[in-house]
Amino acid sequence: MKRGLIVLLFLFGAIFIYFGGTELKSAIIRGTGNIDSIQVYKSKRKLMFFRNGDVSGEFRISLGFHPKGKKRYEKDGKTPEGLYEIDGKNPKSVAHKNLGISYPNQNDRSFASRAGQKAGGAIKIHGLLKKYRKLGKLHRFYDWTAGCIAVTDEEVDCRWHSN
Protein backbone atom coordinates (compact mmCIF):
# COMPACT_ATOMS: atom_id res chain seq x y z
CA MET A 1 0.00 0.00 0.00
CA LYS A 2 2.74 2.43 0.99
CA ARG A 3 4.80 1.57 -2.09
CA GLY A 4 1.76 2.09 -4.35
CA LEU A 5 1.14 5.51 -2.81
CA ILE A 6 4.76 6.51 -3.37
CA VAL A 7 4.57 5.42 -7.02
CA LEU A 8 1.31 7.30 -7.48
CA LEU A 9 2.75 10.47 -5.94
CA PHE A 10 5.85 10.16 -8.10
CA LEU A 11 3.75 9.83 -11.25
CA PHE A 12 1.57 12.77 -10.24
CA GLY A 13 4.69 14.87 -9.61
CA ALA A 14 6.22 13.89 -12.95
CA ILE A 15 3.03 14.82 -14.79
CA PHE A 16 2.82 18.12 -12.90
CA ILE A 17 6.42 18.97 -13.78
CA TYR A 18 5.93 17.95 -17.41
CA PHE A 19 2.82 20.04 -17.92
CA GLY A 20 3.46 22.79 -15.40
CA GLY A 21 7.01 23.49 -14.44
CA THR A 22 8.83 22.68 -17.65
CA GLU A 23 6.06 23.60 -20.05
CA LEU A 24 7.20 25.80 -22.89
CA LYS A 25 5.08 28.86 -22.34
CA SER A 26 3.06 28.88 -25.53
CA ALA A 27 0.91 31.61 -24.03
CA ILE A 28 3.89 33.96 -24.09
CA ILE A 29 3.72 35.57 -27.49
CA ARG A 30 6.05 38.52 -27.81
CA GLY A 31 5.26 41.49 -30.02
CA THR A 32 2.74 41.84 -32.81
CA GLY A 33 2.76 41.27 -36.53
CA ASN A 34 3.31 38.31 -38.78
CA ILE A 35 5.65 35.42 -38.17
CA ASP A 36 8.67 35.47 -40.50
CA SER A 37 9.66 31.84 -40.07
CA ILE A 38 9.31 28.73 -37.97
CA GLN A 39 11.88 26.19 -36.85
CA VAL A 40 10.97 22.57 -36.12
CA TYR A 41 13.17 20.69 -33.63
CA LYS A 42 11.96 17.09 -33.75
CA SER A 43 14.27 15.63 -31.10
CA LYS A 44 13.13 18.30 -28.63
CA ARG A 45 9.48 18.11 -29.80
CA LYS A 46 9.57 21.87 -30.13
CA LEU A 47 8.27 24.38 -32.66
CA MET A 48 9.68 27.91 -32.51
CA PHE A 49 8.20 31.00 -34.15
CA PHE A 50 10.36 33.94 -35.28
CA ARG A 51 9.51 37.54 -36.01
CA ASN A 52 12.27 39.82 -37.34
CA GLY A 53 14.84 37.21 -36.34
CA ASP A 54 13.71 37.06 -32.71
CA VAL A 55 11.91 34.17 -31.05
CA SER A 56 8.29 35.20 -30.63
CA GLY A 57 6.97 31.96 -29.16
CA GLU A 58 7.41 28.22 -28.90
CA PHE A 59 5.16 25.21 -28.52
CA ARG A 60 5.58 21.58 -27.53
CA ILE A 61 4.42 19.40 -30.39
CA SER A 62 3.44 15.95 -31.62
CA LEU A 63 4.93 14.71 -34.87
CA GLY A 64 4.32 12.19 -37.63
CA PHE A 65 3.88 8.55 -36.66
CA HIS A 66 7.48 7.69 -37.78
CA PRO A 67 9.25 10.75 -36.36
CA LYS A 68 12.90 9.65 -36.40
CA GLY A 69 15.06 10.62 -39.33
CA LYS A 70 14.76 13.06 -42.20
CA LYS A 71 11.50 13.41 -44.09
CA ARG A 72 12.36 11.80 -47.40
CA TYR A 73 9.15 11.59 -49.41
CA GLU A 74 5.38 11.81 -49.19
CA LYS A 75 3.51 9.36 -46.96
CA ASP A 76 6.62 8.34 -44.99
CA GLY A 77 5.01 9.42 -41.68
CA LYS A 78 7.85 11.83 -40.90
CA THR A 79 7.68 15.50 -40.02
CA PRO A 80 10.11 17.82 -41.82
CA GLU A 81 12.71 19.44 -39.60
CA GLY A 82 14.28 22.78 -40.26
CA LEU A 83 13.45 26.36 -41.14
CA TYR A 84 10.17 27.07 -42.97
CA GLU A 85 7.61 29.83 -43.39
CA ILE A 86 3.89 29.91 -42.74
CA ASP A 87 2.32 30.07 -46.19
CA GLY A 88 -1.39 29.51 -45.68
CA LYS A 89 -4.40 29.21 -43.40
CA ASN A 90 -7.35 26.82 -43.38
CA PRO A 91 -10.20 27.58 -40.97
CA LYS A 92 -12.06 24.37 -41.94
CA SER A 93 -9.40 21.77 -41.17
CA VAL A 94 -10.42 18.35 -39.84
CA ALA A 95 -8.01 19.14 -37.00
CA HIS A 96 -9.60 22.39 -35.75
CA LYS A 97 -7.68 24.91 -37.91
CA ASN A 98 -4.32 24.73 -39.64
CA LEU A 99 -1.46 26.89 -40.79
CA GLY A 100 0.37 25.69 -43.89
CA ILE A 101 4.15 25.62 -43.95
CA SER A 102 6.47 26.06 -46.92
CA TYR A 103 7.41 22.38 -47.20
CA PRO A 104 8.78 21.22 -49.56
CA ASN A 105 11.50 23.73 -50.28
CA GLN A 106 14.03 23.25 -53.09
CA ASN A 107 16.35 21.15 -50.90
CA ASP A 108 13.45 18.88 -49.89
CA ARG A 109 12.38 18.41 -53.53
CA SER A 110 15.95 17.66 -54.64
CA PHE A 111 16.44 15.14 -51.84
CA ALA A 112 13.25 13.26 -52.77
CA SER A 113 13.97 13.46 -56.49
CA ARG A 114 17.42 11.89 -56.06
CA ALA A 115 15.67 8.96 -54.37
CA GLY A 116 13.14 8.72 -57.21
CA GLN A 117 10.31 9.86 -54.94
CA LYS A 118 7.93 12.81 -54.60
CA ALA A 119 8.59 15.14 -51.67
CA GLY A 120 4.90 15.45 -50.89
CA GLY A 121 3.44 18.53 -49.30
CA ALA A 122 0.42 19.68 -47.35
CA ILE A 123 2.43 19.78 -44.12
CA LYS A 124 0.46 21.81 -41.59
CA ILE A 125 0.61 23.11 -38.05
CA HIS A 126 -2.78 22.02 -36.79
CA GLY A 127 -4.94 21.53 -33.76
CA LEU A 128 -6.43 18.27 -32.57
CA LEU A 129 -8.71 15.81 -34.31
CA LYS A 130 -12.09 15.48 -32.62
CA LYS A 131 -11.09 12.11 -31.15
CA TYR A 132 -8.08 13.73 -29.41
CA ARG A 133 -9.63 17.04 -28.29
CA LYS A 134 -10.37 15.90 -24.76
CA LEU A 135 -6.72 14.94 -24.35
CA GLY A 136 -5.54 18.53 -24.75
CA LYS A 137 -1.81 18.68 -23.97
CA LEU A 138 -1.71 14.94 -23.28
CA HIS A 139 -1.73 14.34 -27.06
CA ARG A 140 2.00 15.10 -26.91
CA PHE A 141 2.72 11.68 -25.41
CA TYR A 142 1.99 10.10 -28.80
CA ASP A 143 3.20 10.94 -32.32
CA TRP A 144 0.02 10.55 -34.30
CA THR A 145 0.01 12.79 -37.38
CA ALA A 146 0.75 11.73 -40.96
CA GLY A 147 3.72 14.13 -40.95
CA CYS A 148 2.16 17.37 -39.76
CA ILE A 149 2.93 19.31 -36.58
CA ALA A 150 0.21 18.98 -33.95
CA VAL A 151 -0.44 21.52 -31.19
CA THR A 152 -3.51 22.10 -29.04
CA ASP A 153 -6.50 23.94 -30.48
CA GLU A 154 -5.75 26.90 -28.20
CA GLU A 155 -2.17 27.06 -29.47
CA VAL A 156 -3.13 27.05 -33.14
CA ASP A 157 -5.72 29.76 -32.35
CA CYS A 158 -3.02 31.83 -30.66
CA ARG A 159 -0.84 31.73 -33.79
CA TRP A 160 -3.81 32.03 -36.14
CA HIS A 161 -4.52 35.53 -34.89
CA SER A 162 -0.89 36.66 -34.95
CA ASN A 163 -0.31 35.70 -38.56
**What would the pLDDT profile of 4-14 be if each residue is shown by its tens digit?**
656 555 565 55
Which pLDDT tens digit goes with each residue over 94-147? 999 999 999 999 999 999 999 999 999 999 999 999 888 888 898 889 999 999
How many beta carbons lie within 10 A of that of residue 128, not counting itself? 23
Longest dimension (CA), the chain: 60
Single pTM value for the model: 0.78
Q: What is 54-98 written as a DSSP string?
A: EEEEEEE-B-BSS-SS---STTS-----EEE-EEEEETT-SSS-E
Residue 12, pLDDT score: 56
List for the chain the helix, strand, coil content (%; round to 5): 30, 25, 45
Q: Is the pLDDT of residue 20 over 60?
A: no
- Domain boundaries along the sequence of the chain: 25-160
Residue 18, pLDDT score: 54
Quick check: 44 and 81 in contact, CB under 8 A?
no
Pick the CATH number of 25-160 from 2.40.440.10, 3.60.20.30, 1.10.1040.10, 1.10.10.60: 2.40.440.10
